[in-house]
Every structure is written in structure tokens, then in C-alpha cells.
Amino acid sequence: EKIKEHRGVICFSHVNFRYPNAQEDVLSDIDFVAEPGKTTAIIGSTGCGKSTLVNLIPRLYDVTGGSITMDGIDIRKLAMAELREEIGFVPQKGVLFSGTIASNLRFGKDDATDEQIREAAEIAQASDFIAEKKEGYDSAIAQGGSNVSGGQKQRLAIARAIAKQPQVFIFDDSFSALDLKTDAALRRALAKKVADKTVIIVAQRISTILHADQILVLNDGRIVGKGTHEELLRGCETYREIARSQMSAKELGMEEQEVSVNE
């Protein structure tokens, strides 16, 4: 089938998933909608199924129960090339290929103009270190990106997804290699660029997802909380524990609650 209206609405409908030959589901009854113009964030402890969940969208794996639709069509009925054309995916570890910075940034969109790749690099906070290189965008990248730092590699991987100009952005814990200042600057610049796109962010840091339109809290492969940061602080114990372990009560606006607990 073909997508008629390219909007980027992703709907998980009671999705279960288990790896081949496994005894138990890794994900159970995952149910949510990610919409254009909104950011959906996914948080939870290590090993709770966050990466597995986003890997189902470009069909790196297929659901074993329920369904995922893109703009109303079951993604299993779409040609793989058409489905993936809609998606800009940044994995946890940015992967670069031998070539130049420019060829890496054009990897998802061969015909991206110089201006488009420059803008993508600026948004991804990569333009400064590119400018410092003698060859600029024509600088060589070694196989696997072994001649750039982890943070630089991650920023180039993010820039590559932006240059592709997809309907759906998936960031699988892609900001963790960045310092907090770069993370914040990148997300500010990105927000303007992707205002009408669907953005899905897997994160370890609460600070990365504070302003997401909806946050899904995953625990043992299930959604145990869904809402905004404020709603989850009030109503989701798992989220409160994660938040308290990373930020002070003052930062979280939880001082009043803390005082009464301590008393």
C-alpha cells in the first residue's frame, strides 16, 4: 500500500513483542499515538524495552501482537523503502561511513543542497567543529568515524537525520553523548526546525524531555505512566523515582511535597 497523506502519525495499538525463540514478551500492550507537531518521549530504567520499542517503527523487528500504523496504514503493508523514507533515525551510537563530512550528511538524501547540509549541521551544533577543520565539509571521515570524538560523531549523525527532512524523527538516546549545554542548545534549534514533524525521543536524562508533549514511562516492557512531566510527577511513582535520582526537589518544583514527607 502507499501512504496517501504524508503526515507522520504513528499509532501503536496494543503492541506486544517477543524476540524469536524467547519465552516471554519484551513489550506488552504498548498503546499510544505520536502526532506531528508534538514530541513523544520514552523513559525508563536500562533494559526496560525503550530501544526495542523504537526499533519496531522502521521494522528492524516486526510486532508479534497488535499493530503499528503510519498515517492509518499498517506498516507491514508498506514497502520497506517507502516506510523508511518517512523516518530519520538516530541510533544510540552514531554510525559514520568512510568518505567526507558532506557525504555522510547526504547519506539519507543524496540531493540535499550545500545550504541544507549546512543548516542541518548548525541545528545539530556541529558547524563549529566542522569550521575548525582545514577542509571544512570536505574533511575526510574514517570508516566508523574513528577520527572524530564520540560527541562529534553523535552530532553528525543527528545532522544527517535533519538533512534528510523526514516526517518522523526518532532519537534513540542520541543526546546522551552530549554535554548538557550542547544538548539544550541542540534541542532549542531543533524545536524550530521540526515544529510540524513527529518527534520521538528515547532518553535517560529527565532534563532532555522535560518539555515533551507526552512522556511514556516504561517499566519491564509495559507503559506504567503516560502524560506530561508535571502530570507524571503527581501521578507516577516510577517517574518520580527517576526524577528524584537526577534532579533536586527544587529543580523539580517538589519542595513542598519533600518537606511534608520528611516531617
The 10s digit of each residue's pLDDT in 82-110 is: 999 999 999 988 889 999 999 999 999 99
Cβ-count burial of 55 within 10 angstroms (0-12 exposed, 13-18 middle, 19+ buried)?
A: middle
pLDDT of 258 reads: 46
pLDDT of 93 reads: 86
- Residue 130 per-residue DSSP state: H
Name the band, by pLDDT with cuts 50, 70 and 90, for residue 254.
low
d(C-alpha 102, C-alpha 158), whole Å: 13
Question: How many CA atoms lie within 13 Å of 23's alpha carbon, on the beta-carbon side?
Answer: 0
Mean pLDDT, residues 132-137 taken together: 96
Topology of the domain covering 1-86+166-263: Rossmann fold (3.40.50)
* Domain residue spans of the chain: 1-86+166-263, 93-164
Within this chain, domains 1-86+166-263 and 93-164 share the same CATH topology: yes
Mean pLDDT, residues 112-129 taken together: 96
pLDDT of 247 reads: 84
Q: Tens of pLDDT along 33-77?
A: 999 999 999 999 888 999 999 999 999 999 999 999 999 999 999
d(C-alpha 157, C-alpha 96), whole Å: 7
Name the band, by pLDDT with cuts 50, 70 and 90, for residue 250.
confident
Q: Tell me the backbone φ, ψ of residue 39, rounded to 5 degrees.
A: -105, 125
Q: Select the CATH number that applies to the domain covering 93-164 from these four: 3.40.50.300, 3.10.350.10, 3.90.550.10, 2.40.50.140.
A: 3.40.50.300
